[in-house]
Structure 1
Amino acid sequence: MKTTIALIALTAALAAPMAAQAHRAWLAPTSTVLSGTDAWVGFDGGMSNGVFIPDHAAMRLEGLVITAPDGSTAQPENVMRGQYRSTFDLHLTQNGTYKIANVMSGVMASYTLNGEQKRWRGQAAEFPGALPQGASDVVATRTSNRIETFVTLNNPTDTVFTNSASGLEMIPVTHPNDLVAGEAATFKLSNDGAPAAGVEVTVARGGLRYRDNPEESTVTTGADGSFTVTWPEPGMYWLNASLRTPAQGETIASNAQYVAVVEVLP
């Protein structure tokens, strides 16, 4: 069986392309820093031409995982999927920082069997064993796509910033709920657990509907995967990175995507 494997973004599972295409995926909270014994935060998720403007498609939330400050999994409430956006609420009951992530991965493959073109989709652990005997001319895509944001009740904590070593991930150096306009913030990108060097990160501020200037810039990660952003204005920001790695020998080619949404305060 001749097999060619390439890793591309899981656009079908999220119902729309990521930043490499016309539409951008985002998961935006109504607030990021709250206080009190408990609090509620709402979230919108969608794909659109301008970030945070629900005008194209709602985000599918099958891969939604919410990690509480103590490492447990919190559950979303009042989940709804509309035409242009998906929404849900989160009840914050623990002091500290929560990570809200929509993570999708898998394998999509095409192959020839008895002269007919066939398709298969499933998890990476199932491939290629799930293909029928006699499958040939196999072209498979292993997918990795992560969209996340962070909210904090009272004091920021860093217990949720763990690395799963799967696809592109961001490990903050500066806490993502402690961002201030005019000040520099540093983050690190990793790919499959290793520093993601030389990766271009797009930074875009929301509110495009009310101005002519898109206020978009790019920075490139250093040898250790770190990059620094100095926020020009307060607001909600969209960070996006993608990484394509060609196949070399036995190494599988890859294309990973990452999105973070952060709020910058005055």
Structure 2
Amino acid sequence: MSHPLLRASLLLSLSLPFAAQAHKAWLEPSKTVLGVNQWVTVDAAASTDPFVKDHNPQRLDSLEITAPDGSRLTPENPVTGKLRSSFDLQLAQAGTYRIALVSNGLSASWEENGQRKMWPPRGQPFSAEGFAKEVPAKADQLKVLASQRRVETFVTAGKPSEGALKPSGVGLELQPISGVNDLYTDEPARFRFLLDGKPVAGLKVELIADGVRYRNAVNEIERTTGADGSFELRWPQPGLYWLSATVVDQQAPAPASERRAVYSATLEVLTP
């Protein structure tokens, strides 16, 4: 009979180390509104403040690029350096593209001979084989956490479209109501958060504008979703914004007893 933890972990794909979640993960496109056949370059990293390249790159093995017609695309010129990863994408189709890092995994902690053990070790990724080998099925004070993470940005060539924005129904997701690449400082924007495809009420949402390095304060913008999972934003200035939200609940597959669903997105606000 196979290891019970292995059976569960085989249902989960590769995940970044959970320690990395202490930093803000982000994707930064060179532009979000372009013409058909133009190119966009995207940086991917994690840092103390959004868009400041001072910590770690994001690995691109969990990258998903969805074209306006719903098909999956492969990035060009992918590279990972010391502080960031980057790739290029040609927008051959008209419409809106979803660019996302999507990962799921397990982490565990337990007591062994009076010492606290953790897996995966800091700085190492989740793997089903490693989880089954290193985490005892029965251990003192064993706690297993399931993690779901989605880091996104959106770019549009020509006229916006909705084909790539269809929710997957897994984990925490952002659903645009008033658009995602036609955001302007003089217009309010509405979004909805979904958890496993259903609106999530009472969720705290945080936004941070680019340029924290040059301000005396972070100046976070905070919102809370309503009964239908929606919230409204008015933009104080043009530029890039990092949006994030987190849900912790007990809706986790065995052997996990708790789930942590993390979402972040980069949005660009323009001057009308």
Question: If the TM-score is normalised by the length of the shorter chain, which range does it land in?
Answer: 0.7 to 0.9
Partners in 2 of 1:253 and 1:16 — Cα distance? 17
Matched, 1:182 2:186: yes
Aligned partners of 2:145 and 2:257 also within 8 Å? no
CA contact (8 A) 1:111 1:136 kept: no
Q: Which residue of 1 aligns with 2:159?
A: 155
Shift in CA distance, 147/89, structure 1 to aligned 2, threshold 3 Å: same
Equivalent in the alignment of 2:60:
61
Q: What is the aligned partner in structure 1 of residue 85 from structure 2?
A: 86
Aligned to 1:216: 220
CA distance in 2, matches of 1:111, 1:122: 18
Aligned position for 2:20: 17
Residue 210 of structure 1 deviates from its aligned partner by: 2.4
Unaligned residue ranges in structure 1 (runs of 5+):
none
Match of 1:136 in 2: 138
Post-superposition offset of 1:57:
1.1
CA RMSD of aligned residues (A): 3.3
Say whether 1:49 aligns with 2:48: yes
CA distance in structure 1 between the aligned counterparts of 2:175 and 2:213, rounded to whole angstroms: 31
Q: Distance in 1 between matches of 2:137 and 2:111?
A: 6
Higher-helix-fraction structure: 2
**Superposition deviation, residue 139 in structure 1:** 2.9
1:254 is matched with which residue: 238, 254, 259? 259
Q: What is the CA-CA distance between 1:118 and the residue it aligns to?
A: 9.0
**Is structure 2 residue 28 aligned with structure 1 residue 28?**
yes
SS class of match (1:17): helix
Distance (whole Å) between structure 2 residues aligned to residue 51 and residue 154 of structure 1: 27
TM (norm. structure 2) is: 0.81
Q: Distance in 2 between matches of 1:2 and 1:139?
A: 15
User: Structure 1 residues 92, 157: CA separation in 2 closer, same or farther (over 3 Å shift)?
Assistant: same
Quote how far apart the aligned CAs of 1:119 are: 5.3
SS of structure 2 residue aligned to 1:98: strand
Unmatched runs of 5 consecutive residues or more in structure 2: 121-125
Contact 2:15 2:105 in 1 (8 A): no
Give yes or no for contact 2:100–2:150 (8 Å, CA) kept in 1: yes
Once the 2 structures are TM-superposed, how far is the Cα of residue 110 of structure 1 from its aligned partner? 5.5
Query: 1:136–1:149: structure 2 CA closer, same or farther, 3 Å change rule?
Result: same
Deviations 1:159-208 (A, max 9, x none): 11112121100110021101001321000101111211111000110012
On the 8 A contact 1:180/1:234 being kept in 2, the answer is yes
SS at match of 1:224: coil
Task: State yes or no: 1:240 paired with 2:244.
Answer: yes
| Equivalent-residue separation in structure 1 for 2:118 and 2:82 (angstroms) | 31
Secondary structure, counterpart of 2:183 in structure 1: coil
Do the aligned partners of 1:197 and 1:225 also contact (CA within 8 Å) in 2?
A: yes
Partner of 2:74: 75
Counterpart-to-counterpart distance in 2, 1:43 and 1:247: 33
**Sequence identity (%):** 40
TM-score by length of 1: 0.83
Change in Cα spacing, 1:169 to 1:159, as seen in structure 2 (3 Å) is same
> Greater strand percent: which structure?
1
Q: Which residue of 1 aligns with 2:102?
A: 103
In the alignment, the residues of structure 2 paired with residue 99 and residue 152 of structure 1 have an alpha-carbon distance, to the nearest angstrom, of: 9
**Pair 1:112–1:212, CA change in 2 (3 A):** closer
Aligned residues: 251
